[in-house]
Structure 1
Amino acid sequence: MIIALFGFILLFITILQAFMPKFLKPTEAFGVYIPDSHTKDSVVIKLKNTYTTVVLTFGMIIFLVYLWWALTQKPAEETLALVSVGVQFTTLFVSIGYYFMMHLRMKRLKETQGWLIGKSEVRVIDVKFQEKLKLIPRVLFIIPMFVTIGLIIYTFMKYDQMPEMIPTHWGPTGEADAFSEKTYFSVVALPLILLVMQGMFLMMSEGMKFSGVRLNPANKKASLVQQLAFRKYTSLLALFITIGITLMLGYFHLQTIHPEISSPLIMWALPLTFLILTFAVVGIYAIKVGQSGSRLKVEENSPAIDNKIAVDEDRYWKGGMFYLNKNDPSIMVEKRFGVGWTLNFAHPISWIVLLVPLLLIFGISFLL
């Protein structure tokens, strides 16, 4: 079963990375902006198909070799877990490395063929965008945080009844394999980490309200509808993950207070179920919504503006992945390669948003 789990994760990573160009806006390929008039150029389509073929082929070979090794060599659980994680990261790093190669090829193609020559750059805005935006209400993100706070209070009430050694890690079979001495800090470490994670998803949902919208001048109305839907579905995805981790980590913590509810089967099945459901939802999200809602079918169209294109922001995207624009007040921006959001690393607050939660989580884990 462990082999099936790691194999499933490896297969998911391979497929998602291979077909990523299919989930993005037509006007963006490998982190490079493409004017609408060139989105269907044969060379652009060929580069996308080549990327999919190479990454998928490499990933499937690695997947088959991994299964052969795991099934024939029958390694110990620790060795299996270590190799499995290493194989997953190798597959991911190879696909990212190949992406950067395609990114450079796309940039050269854009420059040599002069796609921007004779075009005027315009920025289309909708002054009422914030009024039209319908995200999941923040109260639905705050409720799980109150549940976690209540769990912390309840833990302190039950402190004297808790065992002297608190489990802090569970192995592949669902059995606890690492413990920490009971202190007022160690007994609430897991809920504290959960609270930080809940806050991160709340910030992500709320941050979309203040992120600048980039509408396509060639199809303003459809682009607007897709943007509104994209942010709404992203907020819904964040809520789904928030509820999922709250239920999972909440149970993990409660069984340290009430060992009678502990079950190796549940401890094994709960994270597996959460993982599979999350992958399934993310897959549906990528296929049905796509980046910026580009895969959503919209009938509202508007005439193209002759010789007008969206503002080319390639200079702000380092490698097509890292956005640095000190003149942009947005903290969060839509990814150019990948479905979701990234940070404006030229904005000081972005580093606070990134580092503070990570330092808190690592700090709590280190002090255990």
Structure 2
Amino acid sequence: MEALIFIMMMLLTVMLEAAIPFLIRKTIVFGVSIPSTQIKHPQISVYKKRYSLLIVVPALLLLLAYCIWQATNSPQANQVAIVGTFLLFGTLFWSFSLYFYFHGKMLELKGENKWEEQLKVVSVTELGIRQKDEMLPWYVFLIPMIITVGFLLFTATQYDVLPTEIPVHWGADGKADRFTTKTPISSVSLLLVLLTMQFMFLGINIATKRSGIKIIANNKQASKRRQLKYRKYSSWLNLLISITITVLFILLQLTTLYNNIFSDYMIVIIPLLLTVVLLICTIVFTFKVERLNRELDGKEQETQEISTFDADNHWKGGLFYFNKNDPSIFVEKRFGIGWTINFANPIGYLLLFIPLLLILLLSFI
């Protein structure tokens, strides 16, 4: 079972990583902005195909070696998990390295062809566009938080009947394999971690909703529609992730309160089903965004204008956004699907790193 989970995760990761250059907007290639007149440049197509092949081929060879290793050695479950995790993170590191290599190649190609001279910087603002924003309101994210608080209070009322040792880690088989002494904090630490994560999702949704709606100068209507839909889909995905994590953590908390509430089969299958649901939602979101990109690129006019938010000088390595003049806390990624913080805005650090510090503190306690 452990091996099957890691193989599925590996295959999905490889497919998504290899497909990213073909899913994002055509005027952003490996984090580098290019004129719409150059999106069919033959060298760009070569770079994208090489990137995908250099991810897929080594990953498939590693998976084959992984399967052969298991078949011939009959390793223990913890060995399977350790090796599988190493392969997964190794693949991510390799794709990250390839990205930076092709990012450099794109900068060279852009410089050699003097495409920068073809780009005219134009800023576009539309009054009243926020009235059309369909992102979920902040109070919707309170629903899983209310459920968590309810379970937290219920756990407090059951403190006297809780076991003397509280589980703090669960293995791939769904069973607790590490415990700590029962205290008022340890008995609800899992729910406190969950509540912290839910606060982070709430903060991300609020900050994203307040971030600027970026309109591309050479295709105002299509880019406006794309931005509004992208923000809507993102908020729904964030809510679904929050709900899925809530269900999983409450499941684990229930196994602490009632040791035999679920069968061994259910303890394994429920987290697996939740993972599959989350993966399906992510894939649906990815292809909805790809459809929006295709509609925008298909209608984009042959002009030399770009908007100021897309200027390369604000993006370090095409991944990290620094712009003191942009009040947005979150901006759309240039490579990949989703959002990244404006590293020049300190509020973004607070939203991401304070919850992580709280989670680490709760784990330490």
TM-score, length-scaled by structure 1: 0.94
The question of whether the paired residues in 2 share the 8 Å contact of 1:123 and 1:214 is answered with no
Deviation of the 1:323 alpha carbon: 1.0
Deviation of the 1:168 alpha carbon: 1.4
Task: Give the structure 2 partner of residue 137 of structure 1.
Answer: 137
2:339 equivalent among 334, 338, 341: 341
Deviation of the 1:356 alpha carbon: 0.2
Task: Give the structure 2 partner of residue 54 of structure 1.
Answer: 54
Task: Provide the alpha-carbon RMSD of the alignment.
Answer: 1.8
* Alignment-mate amino acid for residue 308 of structure 1: E
Segments ≥4 residues shifted beyond 4 Å: 298-302
Task: Give the structure 1 partner of residue 306 of structure 2.
Answer: 309
CA distance in 2, matches of 1:116, 1:176: 57
After alignment, is 258-267 or 161-170 more displaced? 258-267
* Within-5 A mapping of 1:92-131: 92-131=92-131
* Alignment-mate amino acid for residue 234 of structure 1: S
Asked whether 1:324 is paired with 2:335, we answer no
* Within-5 A mapping of 1:230-269: 230-269=230-269
Task: Give the structure 2 partner of residue 358 of structure 1.
Answer: 356
How many pairs are equivalent?
364
Task: Give the structure 1 partner of residue 181 of structure 2.
Answer: 181
* Alignment-mate amino acid for residue 6 of structure 1: F
Unaligned runs of 5+ in 2: none
Deviation of the 1:114 alpha carbon: 0.8
The question of whether the paired residues in 2 share the 8 Å contact of 1:321 and 1:336 is answered with yes
Task: Give the structure 1 partner of residue 271 of structure 2.
Answer: 271
Task: Give the structure 2 partner of residue 25 of structure 1.
Answer: 25
The question of whether the paired residues in 1 share the 8 Å contact of 2:121 and 2:307 is answered with yes
Deviation of the 1:204 alpha carbon: 2.0
* Alignment-mate amino acid for residue 174 of structure 1: G
* Alignment-mate amino acid for residue 284 of structure 1: V
Q: Tell me the secondary structure at the aligned position of residue 116 of structure 2.
A: coil
Task: Give the structure 2 partner of residue 209 of structure 1.
Answer: 209
The question of whether the paired residues in 2 share the 8 Å contact of 1:138 and 1:202 is answered with yes
Residues 245-304 of structure 1: CA deviation (Å, up to 9, x unaligned): 11111121022112241432222112211112211221221122239x414x479968x4
Deviation of the 1:351 alpha carbon: 1.4
Asked whether 1:294 is paired with 2:293, we answer yes
CA distance in 1, matches of 2:201, 2:229: 18
CA distance in 2, matches of 1:300, 1:31: 20
* Alignment-mate amino acid for residue 361 of structure 1: I
The question of whether the paired residues in 2 share the 8 Å contact of 1:27 and 1:36 is answered with yes
The question of whether the paired residues in 1 share the 8 Å contact of 2:25 and 2:297 is answered with no
Unaligned runs of 5+ in 1: none
CA distance in 2, matches of 1:71, 1:299: 47
CA distance in 2, matches of 1:119, 1:362: 46
Deviation of the 1:129 alpha carbon: 2.1
Q: Tell me the secondary structure at the aligned position of residue 121 of structure 2.
A: strand
TM-score, length-scaled by structure 2: 0.95
Task: Give the structure 1 partner of residue 10 of structure 2.
Answer: 10
Residues 125-172 of structure 1: CA deviation (Å, up to 9, x unaligned): 222221110112322210110111111111111111111111111212
Q: 1:306 to 1:282 in 2, by over 3 A?
A: closer
